[in-house]
Structure 1
Amino acid sequence: MAVTDGRGATAVDHGGRNLPVRFGAQYAIDAFAWALAVVVGEALRYEYNLSAIAVAPMLVLAAVAAALQLVVGWSFNLYQGRYTYGTFEEVRALGMAVLVVAVVLAVPIGLFGTTVGVPRSTVVIALPIALLIMFGARYLKRLYVEHKYRPGANAERTLIYGAGYLGAELVRRMMTDPDSGFVPVGLLDDDPAYRNVRHGSVPVRGTLADLDAVSKQTGAKVLVVAIARADSALLRRANDAGTALGLQVKVLPRLDEILAGRTGLTDMRDVSIEDLIGRHAVDTEVATIAGYLAGRRVLVTGAGGSIGAELCRQIVAFGPAELIMLDRDETGLQAAQLATAGHGLLDTPDVVLADIRDADALRHVFLERRPEVVFHAAALKHLPMLEQYPDEAWKTNVIGTLNVLEAARDCGVQTFVNISTDKAANPTSVLGHSKRVAEKLTAWMAIETDATFLSVRFGNVIGSRGSMLPTFAALIRSGGPVTVTHPDATRYFMTIPEACQLVVQAGGIGSPGEVLILDMGEPVRILDVAERMIEMSGRDVDIVFTGLREGEKLHEELVGASEQTSRPRHPKISHARVVAVPPSALDKTEWDLQMLRKVRDNDTAMIAIRRPKVVPVGKWRS
């Protein structure tokens, strides 16, 4: 079943007829409307004294009006498949076309009408009559089409929460899709302005608080949340209300996915745990981002990881001159290439296989490819693993970061974004200390180069490889038990797309040497997440508390004890400063000692580094 592409290019419409036949019939109705309107107009003018009507001039006028309707209507794309039947856009174009026809007819009739036997008022009277007939024909056709293409009798009766644009579009899509498994029977909205709104034949029946009564009244079995910027708190409220009543609760894809064409309005899905604890896409100042990414050579380290791959996907949208994806994981690089280039051939220069621990290889890549913007996402991130192997954290998160920083300096990188973690704020773990040192090295390189070298700090991202949610899901699938460290432990969570969106924007608004801290919202209790996931799975799985692991905090922090923050540019990004530390101050022996003690870093103890004897003036400040 083909449809028009907006230019009349397709051959068949929804009814299976050729477009020329469909729009030829549409024009025939419009021509008949003008002819009838002219006849009725003259009859009204002569107060139904038909003997006073000059039939031949009247018929000529009707024929001319019909011919003009074809010419003018064609110029307004009325008969070329441009408009969906009965939409406001078609009505507006039709009204303009009929008005133009009337004006063109009115001029000669006004000048010569009495001479040829046509009253000057004929066109004025005929205009509203013709419009009424044309509008009426289209309205009846639309009613017929909507009835014909309504969902079948087996479609689930559905309530839509959200009576705005998305809700209205969802109603329209459902009511005109015979294959839809859902038929809307009511809308809900908490905004009093929508109290008396009706979309098509579907009225707003109340607010979410009325869900119980409305679901019983309509016999609804499904609740769809159709609110573009619904946050996790709203989704939890809707999900809990719907689930308590035995309704299936579904959500729409993210608005940016709909606008990008990756999904459609009818691609509804069940509520996921990510929806209930995560955050959703934020408004982005595109001009700010495009200014430093468009037309630039951009390199991403750790491009095969969850954060790196999403960064690459988002960066491509801003038109960089070249995107260079670097990682030591060839399988991860292939996945990143699939997401950005649409293939995973691994034989093109956009993918680079290299290890950030290898300073010589890294320097060769940077000097050869000359990136202008660098996002440093490569890191070891699993806290318990690094507690066992602190040397690996030193080699990758500290020395590896230093290698990337020095390579960036040597090739003249102007914007460098080091991706950090909330565990770097008042660190108590090997991971936190290593990322804290990486922030300090980045701040030092900003002083060294006078370029925009900065760090971005945020908490847990939902769904990244090896993170909590996939681990819980695997434990639940295997029958449990689900292991939770502590009943009161909390963590900050953010979706990968939102985290990367803010990271990319941070590169455009940050100043040299800053640490930008992403607003993570309210922390979420891990036990609540585990309980929700078990409930959503429908399984009977036990939860076992294992106790906090070495170096692990009960509650994470985003801001260090000695840091002062401000939000001058973006409501969800705070700016802070850390002590700048030069590479000459790094001391592996001191690192080993400090990792044994893991003292909280307050920027005066200088954890993991030792102050050098000689510091060039203006190159480092504590």
Structure 2
Amino acid sequence: MKNVVIFGASSGGKIVADALLRQPERYQLKYFLDNDASRWGQQLLGITIAGGMDELATLAKAEPIDKVIVAISSIGEDDLAVISDTCRQWDIELRIIPQALDIVFEDPILNQMREVSVADLLGRHEVSLADDLVSAEIQGQTVLVTGAAGSIGSEVVRQVAKFAPARIIGLDVNENDLYLLELFVGRHFPEIVFSSVICSIQDRTELERELTGQGIDVVFHCAAHKHVPLMERSPVQAVKNNVLGTLNVAQVADELAIGRFVLISTDKAVNPTNVMGASKRVAELIVLEMNRRSDTRFMAVRFGNVLGSAGSVIPIFKELLKEGRDLTITDERMTRYFMTIPEAARLVIESGVQGQGGELFVLEMGEPVEILTLARKMIELSRAQSDIKIIGLRPGEKLYEELFYDMDSVIPTDNRKILLSTAEADQQLDLAQLRQEIEAVIADASGSRSFLGRYVASFSGAQA
């Protein structure tokens, strides 16, 4: 039997306590803690509210505490850090309830407890959507998500599903993860038709064949190659997937008279020093050009790094810590913008439904995070004995990322988390010529960098 303390004596704490009290053979709920001093000494469900979070160490000294459950989904990072430090000091298991928007009410709340993550300690808070606005554009519609098996694409699917579309089409070349997503939607949203399409965005003929006649209303184009060092080694693949793939999907959307097209972009597209960023900048230019010549509303959404996405720094650090290895960072001064996967997906969806066409939305990322600080927090959370090694910048890397080409051209929207960049749509493209140049690059991969350099002035095209 585990002795449990719940931090948070409001609605979330009551739900968790009720679940614990139904399993007396497994759990003994000892106390509530809550920072509201007016409630100290009172009882909830017959359990004493013993004090604030500082009381946890006192309780742990007095009797064994096996588990602490934080039942406040929006807890501040400073408070959570204090609780985490105390639990680590006293070897107490720590769990937290999901964000309110992520709770699946059909599942027992105790099954949804999760470990405290570095995202919690970095202070990325829950983002709520403008539900009426999103629902008006999504409910009863058919939504296509490219790259649906990826970190962002799959979360866009999960978030879109909450707004009752008639159908979601998930397109990807990763059949295993796409099938798992299909099973997830079937379990949690059985009223929605989910169609898996195994197709490469590089194959326009196949795209047309798969998407014609599907009655698609909205496209979220998430498919992309995003790994900076790998794209430096294989620049032609960045051109094929990020540039040609975007051109293919955008032109098919135009031909099929799809209502909206939303490109997911990256902060690495701003003054890019690497192939991946340059290829995504060309993708942005394609989308803005398509909006000039199409009845489809084309727009792009740009944001920074996503905490925990496949291939990003956090999963890599986790694997190194699991193996007992030291963490490596390229420069102790390096910073990056971060947001959580659900946060990014929600803001992408809201940007996409509020856009009138031709916008380049930029998500407000908060303050940049030092990678050195991130590494230290992860070592603390894992309780590992690992060190941190500085190994020097990799080809194509920047010390600092940017979100805008011109800060003076940025204006707010109705959502303070979504900004609009107004000075980036001037460069016009000849899309027929662009396609010819892409075909030439594919035929002779050595021209990939110079091709990108012709379209992105800040990218030299030289080997990094």
Alpha-carbon shift at residue 231 of structure 1 (Å): 4.7
Name the amino acid aligned to 1:431: M
Q: Contact 2:21–2:27 (CA<8 Å) still a contact in 1?
A: no
User: In structure 2, what is the Cα distance between the partners aligned to 1:197 and 1:521?
Assistant: 38
Alpha-carbon shift at residue 201 of structure 1 (Å): 3.1
Give the one of 347, 356, 378 matched to 2:201.
Answer: 356
Establish whether residue 316 from structure 1 lines up as the match of residue 161 from structure 2.
yes
Counterpart for residue 24 of structure 2 = 178
Give the one of 454, 458, 464 matched to 2:309.
Answer: 464
Establish whether residue 165 from structure 1 lines up as the match of residue 19 from structure 2.
no
Q: Contact 2:272–2:459 (CA<8 Å) still a contact in 1?
A: no
Deviations 1:510-560 (A, max 9, x none): 231111122222322222332333333333333322211111111222222
Counterpart for residue 423 of structure 1 = 268
The TM-score normalised by the length of structure 2 is: 0.86
User: In structure 2, what is the Cα distance between the partners aligned to 1:415 and 1:197?
Assistant: 54
Counterpart for residue 283 of structure 2 = 438
User: In structure 2, what is the Cα distance between the partners aligned to 1:466 and 1:312?
Assistant: 20
Q: Contact 1:325–1:333 (CA<8 Å) still a contact in 2?
A: yes
Alpha-carbon shift at residue 249 of structure 1 (Å): 2.5
Aligned length: 448
**Residue 596 and residue 403 in structure 1: after superposition, are their counterparts in 2 closer, same or farther (change >3 A)?**
closer
**Residue 608 and residue 541 in structure 1: after superposition, are their counterparts in 2 closer, same or farther (change >3 A)?**
closer
**Residue 409 and residue 476 in structure 1: after superposition, are their counterparts in 2 closer, same or farther (change >3 A)?**
same
Give the one of 34, 38, 56 matched to 1:188.
Answer: 34
Establish whether residue 207 from structure 1 lines up as the match of residue 207 from structure 2.
no
Q: SS of 1:239's equivalent?
A: helix
Q: Contact 2:282–2:452 (CA<8 Å) still a contact in 1?
A: no
Counterpart for residue 84 of structure 1 = none
Structure 1, gaps ≥5 residues long: 1-153, 610-622
Give the one of 578, 581, 595 matched to 2:449.
Answer: 595
Alpha-carbon shift at residue 176 of structure 1 (Å): 4.3
Q: SS of 2:409's equivalent?
A: coil
**Residue 368 and residue 171 in structure 1: after superposition, are their counterparts in 2 closer, same or farther (change >3 A)?**
closer
Alpha-carbon shift at residue 265 of structure 1 (Å): 4.7
The TM-score normalised by the length of structure 1 is: 0.66
**Residue 303 and residue 155 in structure 1: after superposition, are their counterparts in 2 closer, same or farther (change >3 A)?**
closer
Q: Give the structure with the larger strand fraction.
A: 2
Name the amino acid aligned to 1:160: I
Q: Give the structure with the larger helix fraction.
A: 1
Establish whether residue 454 from structure 1 lines up as the match of residue 308 from structure 2.
no
User: In structure 2, what is the Cα distance between the partners aligned to 1:209 and 1:543?
Assistant: 31
Deviations 1:563-615 (A, max 9, x none): 622222112111113225322564558997793698899x8x48699xxxxxx
**Aligned residues: CA RMSD:** 3.1
Q: Contact 1:224–1:251 (CA<8 Å) still a contact in 2?
A: yes
Q: SS of 1:391's equivalent?
A: helix
Alpha-carbon shift at residue 414 of structure 1 (Å): 1.0
**Residue 212 and residue 421 in structure 1: after superposition, are their counterparts in 2 closer, same or farther (change >3 A)?**
same
Counterpart for residue 134 of structure 2 = 289
Q: Contact 1:490–1:523 (CA<8 Å) still a contact in 2?
A: yes
Q: Contact 2:2–2:66 (CA<8 Å) still a contact in 1?
A: no
**Residue 280 and residue 599 in structure 1: after superposition, are their counterparts in 2 closer, same or farther (change >3 A)?**
same
Alpha-carbon shift at residue 404 of structure 1 (Å): 0.7
Q: SS of 2:226's equivalent?
A: coil
Alpha-carbon shift at residue 356 of structure 1 (Å): 0.9
**Residue 179 and residue 501 in structure 1: after superposition, are their counterparts in 2 closer, same or farther (change >3 A)?**
farther
Establish whether residue 398 from structure 1 lines up as the match of residue 252 from structure 2.
no
Deviations 1:273-317 (A, max 9, x none): 343336343222222111111111211111121211222222222
Larger radius of gyration: 1
Alpha-carbon shift at residue 428 of structure 1 (Å): 1.6
| Larger relative contact order (CA 8 Å, sep ≥ 6) | 2
**Residue 522 and residue 411 in structure 1: after superposition, are their counterparts in 2 closer, same or farther (change >3 A)?**
same
Give the one of 318, 327, 331 matched to 1:482.
Answer: 327
User: In structure 2, what is the Cα distance between the partners aligned to 1:231 and 1:600?
Assistant: 46
Alpha-carbon shift at residue 421 of structure 1 (Å): 0.9
Q: Contact 1:459–1:491 (CA<8 Å) still a contact in 2?
A: yes
Alpha-carbon shift at residue 218 of structure 1 (Å): 6.3
Give the one of 225, 230, 239 matched to 1:385.
Answer: 230
Q: Contact 1:482–1:544 (CA<8 Å) still a contact in 2?
A: yes
User: In structure 2, what is the Cα distance between the partners aligned to 1:452 and 1:179?
Assistant: 58
Give the one of 247, 255, 265 matched to 1:410.
Answer: 255
Structure 2, gaps ≥5 residues long: none
